[in-house]
Structure 1
Amino acid sequence: MAGNSQRRGATRKPGSKKGASVGTGGHGRKSLEGKGPTPKAEDRPYHAAYKKKVAAEKRTVAGQGRSGQRSASASRSAGGGRGGRTSSTHEIVSGRNSVVEALRAGIPVSTVYLAARLEADDRTREIVSTAAESGYPLLEVSRTELDRLTDGSVHQGVAIQVPPYAYADDEDLLDAAEASEQPALVVALDGVTDPRNLGAVLRSAGAFGAHGVLVPERRAAGVTASAWKVSAGAAARVPVARVKNLVRTLQAYREAGVFVVGLDGGGDVAIGDVAFAEDPLVLVVGSEGKGLSRLVREQCDAIASIPIASAVESLNAGVAAGIALYEVARRRAS
């Protein structure tokens, strides 16, 4: 009943009323102050991520000290190219062939990832033994975690984290040709933005003895994890030079005595009949949609085409480069 003061709990006991006490003005102020943003895991000394970062830095320093024992191509891929430019982030290289080729080339590795309960073969055994001999961290992870690390690519249960790719200098490619005592053979990509096409070009370049690949810095694909994967390890053997201005680089190559042949569907001559096949040569491949740009086309000594059965069909950059490289290699061998 409302107003019934006899009901238990209806009245407050004397002295039980809560209120401010004397001298409490600033007692809780410190507890209300923020401590700033939470540091990243790799910046907290007690965290496992911090220990991994420190170990990776030590391995990088040790790897640089061993760089003199690696091949020239491996040194360029690991950061030793003269005037080379590195990519900005670490990359995850996945797939058994790609990982084996990268390890054989001596590229410094931050971490080796293996899927749990992985079915072993010769390649996985080589990966494990090489990682153990080189002191690389070897982590066993779930396939779900490996899918996440590789962005859902076909990793075959194996992946490695590698430092930023170090691009070679454009002069390094000519130096490599001179050291091999063979006429220079270089592939230049004009406006090719798909890294998978770059990976396919690298694979063909390695198969047919090209001395390197030229790519522009802007509006062009770089050596990413996708390119590594498609190249099947060729990215560890074939240097890639990234240049600010492809037109000027082609001009410099021509002044050095290198012929420039562009590939285009409406070319004046078939690729098998190009007169410069046995000379120092740059094959320029344009994008599948736009083809060669006007300024690049003006730098070409010849425009060659690849005969195909239908005029409405076209070849992507990776396939076109592979066919052209095969024709040049065949002409040189004969």
Structure 2
Amino acid sequence: MAVGRLDLGHVSLVAVLAILTLVGGLTKPSEFLSTDNLQLILTQASVIGVVTVGVTFVIIGGGIDLSVGAIVALCSVWATTVATQEYGLLGILGCAVLVGVGCGLINGMLIAYGPMVPFIATLAMLASARGLAEQMSDGKTQIVTVNSVLDLGLPDAYVLGVPPLVMIFAAVSIIGWLVLNRTTFGRRTVAIGGNPEASRLAGIAVKRQRLMLYLLSGLCCGIAAFMLIVLTGSGQNSNGNLYELDAIAAAIIGGTLLSGGRGTITGSVLGVLVFTTITNLFALNNLESAVQQIAKGAIIVAAVLIQKGRKTP
């Protein structure tokens, strides 16, 4: 049940990253190993990475969240309306976070106190949030006109060559690691994911803990939506498409058990980097996206089989 240790799974993922880097260096050395491309990989990993941190907590706690992509879309659209943009950077950031937390609250209330199965509750949120985002935007792209937001995506905002979005991802990951491994909240999350009934008998408020997990997931979606706004300079109802699948997949190959009770933020971060690097390599080598999806599927299957192998006595 211990979490956060650099185990064999983490070492394996680091090895996979090293192999992917080697492949990139051999096939497209000048393009793949360039500073611009490495910055691009990290930036692209940052948005889905923040979402994955929240999803990892939910899965470790024995839940699932299929609505994260739609919530990101709704947050990005709501935060880029003309009315919201009048309040500047803080208005856009605050709106994105509040909408994300609000969606997480609804999910948490339905699941913890409904009670409703997480799959059904978050599936309903997926449909509702995506529909509301389309209605609010009228299916159109909402362009950001706030310079202080747009400036965060420019090279001038980089600190020692590191984009601001990457620093946000790093900060969220470090905080997530500390919360999971060094706080009572983290221990309770692992406990209710491993055995909710025993946790209840031990005095843990299981329903409240589940609610908090979905609030955390919503918070991460709000932050990710703001990052996406900075990255694209717009808000769209199509944002966050398939984020739920990518986030869950990254958590799984990072060692998080779908049944709950075990997982690490470190593994999830490595999982995100593996998937993002694969996407980058396929793009540089002009390979079809269909082949890319097949490769991702094969990695997920392999990760699940490895997990089952570890559980087999």
- Higher alpha-carbon Rg: 1
After TM superposition, is the score higher than 0.5? Answer: no
**TM value normalised by structure 2:** 0.24
**If each structure's strand is expressed as a fraction of its own residues, which one has the higher value?**
1
Higher RCO structure, 1 or 2 (CA under 8 Å, sep 6+): 2
**If each structure's helix is expressed as a fraction of its own residues, which one has the higher value?**
2
